[in-house]
């Protein structure tokens, strides 16, 4: 689960990590008053969406007067902000964060995540702050320093070494050590799966400040943090993923054209591979899991179809606990209620497969059946090509 920058900054402040003073704004009428209340002449008006790269997309403006701040707020609030992380449709800006400007000396990068290969949480720091870290990793991997840490957070010796590697201003070294250690402690205490400060800055006023913050939480640990649940912003989440999770289903949006209903993550992966092998791309994946009823399967099927980029649907089920006849009943029920105007290929195997196949046949629906995964993928990719002509 992701949260907004300003929410992350409020959480970081509780761990004694310095963040700029700021105010959340949803009403343009408040901007001038907030400008006056904040200290100094310079403020930064920042779009709050769950995606990075806002600066380049026009969602972050440094303003030197109240008029400039009002102008920036008017331009940003309500805009459809497009960044490399939002996709081409962009994301609507529903709130702003206006904060005091910082007198930046240097910009660093600090990120905390779990390194699965090392089986450990790691802190990554770099002198290349403000840049896209993926780009740094690709072009200058030697500029990213990594350090593992354990349940107590980053140890002092490692932190001191990193500060020397970064050539931090001598007067700021001990503050920099503190902030790195506090970031790792916050990461652990909040059960984050990602915490990124880009940029982490040193200032001419001799402060070390988290100027930006991206934070997301391990969804499997959310039960330990009921207070974090309140930070959820459903406007930022994929509406279909949200609806699916409300029905106990997992749904993932992708960029292709074939809607996929499967059971189990492994079968989802295999289905994706075979679709790609036949030259197409999945539009989404809906995993009906093991315990779904006919009604949930119908809901699931309707969700897959509701994605406008779906040009064809592939149902690929290996019935174990999930029985093939339940799947068939769900698909038939769904198609009875909503119009099926794209080709549908169904491949069923496993428990009650004969009953399921018979139900589909007798339903009279224009269903293309397949007996194995390869045939199913071939049939759906051919079907969408034929439709397109
Ligand atoms: P992002 O583009 O979504 O990562 O948003 P950021 O919060 O990182 O802001 C983008 C850029 O704006 C930063 O990399 C900084 O260079 C700049 N910026 C943000 N706040 C300040 C500030 O207080 N003073 C100055 N001078 N620049 C700022
Ligand atoms: Mn940033």
Nearest CA owner, ligand 1 atom 23:
101
Q: Return the pLDDT at 71.
A: 98
Q: Does domain 1-20+103-236 have CATH number 3.40.640.10?
A: no
Per-residue pLDDT reduced to its tens digit, 236-270: 888 888 888 888 888 998 989 999 999 988 999 99
Q: Is residue 133 predicted with pLDDT exceeding 70?
A: yes
Ligand nearest to the CA of 198: 2
Residues pairing with 119 in the sheet: none
Task: Give the residue numbers annotated as catalytic, written as ranges.
Answer: 109, 196
Atom of ligand 1 nearest to the CA of 99: 23
Taking the centre of ligand 2 as the mean of its atom positions, its distance from the CA of residue 198, in whole angstroms, is 4
Q: Return the pLDDT at 238.
A: 83
Taking the centre of ligand 2 as the mean of its atom positions, its distance from the CA of residue 298, in whole angstroms, is 42
The answer to whether the Cα torsion of 81, 108, 23, 72 is positive or negative is negative
Q: Is residue 388 predicted with pLDDT exceeding 80?
A: no
In terms of Cα–Cα distance, which of 382, 355, 379 is closest to 369?
A: 379
Please, what is the average pLDDT of the chain? Answer: 94
Nearest CA owner, ligand 1 atom 12:
55
| Contact by Cβ (8 Å): 187, 112 | yes
CA gap 168, 162 in Å, rounded: 9
CA gap 239, 218 in Å, rounded: 20
Nearest CA owner, ligand 1 atom 14:
130
For 165, what's the count of Cα atoms within 13 Å in the CB-facing half-sphere? 19
Per-residue pLDDT reduced to its tens digit, 5-24: 999 999 999 999 999 999 99
In a mutational test of the pocket of ligand 1, which residue from 104, 128, 200, 215 has the highest number of ligand atoms less than 8 Å from its CB? 104
**Confidence at 319, pLDDT banded by 50, 70, 90:** confident
Q: Return the pLDDT at 346.
A: 93
For residue 345, how far is the Cα from the chain centroid?
Answer: 30
CA gap 328, 315 in Å, rounded: 10
**Confidence at 131, pLDDT banded by 50, 70, 90:** confident
Could you give the C-alpha distances from 286 to 114, 191, 250, 282, in angstroms and in order? 26, 27, 6, 11
Taking the centre of ligand 1 as the mean of its atom positions, its distance from the CA of residue 130, in whole angstroms, is 7
Atom of ligand 1 nearest to the CA of 130: 14
Atom of ligand 1 nearest to the CA of 101: 23
Which phi and psi angles does 18 have, rounded to 5°?
A: -75, 125
**Confidence at 358, pLDDT banded by 50, 70, 90:** very high
Q: Return the pLDDT at 383.
A: 94
In terms of Cα–Cα distance, which of 238, 142, 152, 139 is closest to 187?
A: 152
- Domain 238-388 is in which class? alpha beta
Query: Can you tell me the mean pLDDT for 80-92?
Result: 90
For residue 5, how far is the Cα from the chain centroid?
Answer: 14
Structural domain boundaries in the chain: 1-20+103-236, 21-101, 238-388
Taking the centre of ligand 1 as the mean of its atom positions, its distance from the CA of residue 201, in whole angstroms, is 10
Percent of the chain with pLDDT over 70: 99
Q: Return the pLDDT at 88.
A: 82
> Do 1-20+103-236 and 238-388 come out as alike in CATH topology?
no
**Confidence at 37, pLDDT banded by 50, 70, 90:** very high
Ligand nearest to the CA of 85: 1
In a mutational test of the pocket of ligand 1, which residue from 4, 62, 208 has the highest number of ligand atoms less than 8 Å from its CB? 62
Q: Return the pLDDT at 339.
A: 85
CA gap 221, 225 in Å, rounded: 7
Atom of ligand 1 nearest to the CA of 55: 2
Question: Which residues does a 6 A CB cutoff place in the pocket of ligand 1?
Answer: 44, 46, 52-55, 60, 62, 101-102, 104, 130, 198-199, 211-212
| Contact by Cβ (8 Å): 11, 189 | no
Query: Can you tell me the mean pLDDT for 318-342?
Result: 89
Q: Is residue 365 predicted with pLDDT exceeding 70?
A: yes
Ligand nearest to the CA of 45: 1
Ligand nearest to the CA of 196: 2
In CATH, the number for domain 21-101 is 3.30.1490.20
In a mutational test of the pocket of ligand 1, which residue from 39, 41, 60 has the highest number of ligand atoms less than 8 Å from its CB? 60
């Amino acid at each position: 689960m992701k949260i907004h920058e300003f929410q992350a900054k409020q959480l970081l402040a509780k761990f004694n990590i310095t963040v700029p003073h700021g105010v959340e704004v949803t009403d343009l009428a408040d901007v001038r008053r907030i400008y006056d209340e904040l200290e100094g002449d310079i403020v930064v008006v920042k779009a709050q969406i769950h995606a990075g790269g806002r600066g380049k997309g026009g969602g972050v403006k440094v303003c030197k007067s109240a008029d400039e701040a009002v102008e920036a707020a008017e331009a940003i609030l309500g805009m459809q902000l497009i960044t490399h992380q939002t996709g081409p449709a962009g994301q609507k800006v529903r709130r702003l964060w206006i904060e005091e400007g910082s007198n930046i000396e240097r910009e660093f990068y600090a990120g905390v995540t779990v390194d699965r290969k090392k089986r450990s949480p790691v802190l990554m720091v770099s002198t290349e702050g403000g840049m896209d870290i993926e780009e740094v990793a690709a072009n200058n991997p030697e500029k990213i320093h990594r350090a593992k840490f354990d349940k107590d957070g980053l140890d002092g010796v490692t932190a001191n070494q990193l500060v020397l590697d970064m050539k931090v201003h001598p007067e700021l070294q001990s503050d920099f050590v503190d902030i790195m250690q506090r970031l790792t402690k916050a990461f652990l205490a909040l059960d984050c799966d990602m915490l990124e400060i880009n940029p982490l800055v040193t200032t001419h006023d001799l402060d070390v400040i988290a100027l930006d913050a991206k934070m997301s939480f391990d969804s499997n640990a959310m039960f330990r943090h009921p207070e974090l649940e309140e930070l959820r912003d459903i406007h930022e989440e994929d509406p279909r993923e949200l609806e699916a999770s409300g029905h106990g289903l997992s749904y993932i949006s992708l960029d292709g054209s074939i809607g996929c209903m499967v059971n189990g993550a492994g079968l989802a992966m295999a289905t994706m591979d075979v679709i790609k092998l036949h030259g197409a791309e999945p539009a989404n994946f809906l995993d009906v899991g093991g315990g779904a009823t006919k009604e949930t399967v119908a809901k699931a099927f309707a969700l897959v179809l509701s994605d406008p980029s779906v040009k064809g649907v592939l149902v690929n089920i290996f019935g174990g606990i999930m029985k093939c006849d339940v799947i068939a009943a769900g698909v038939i029920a769904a198609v009875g209620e909503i119009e099926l105007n794209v080709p549908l290929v169904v491949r069923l195997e496993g428990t009650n497969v004969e009953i399921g196949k018979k139900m589909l046949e007798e339903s009279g629906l224009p269903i293309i059946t397949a007996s194995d995964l390869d045939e199913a993928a071939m049939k759906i990719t051919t079907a969408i090509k034929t439709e397109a002509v």
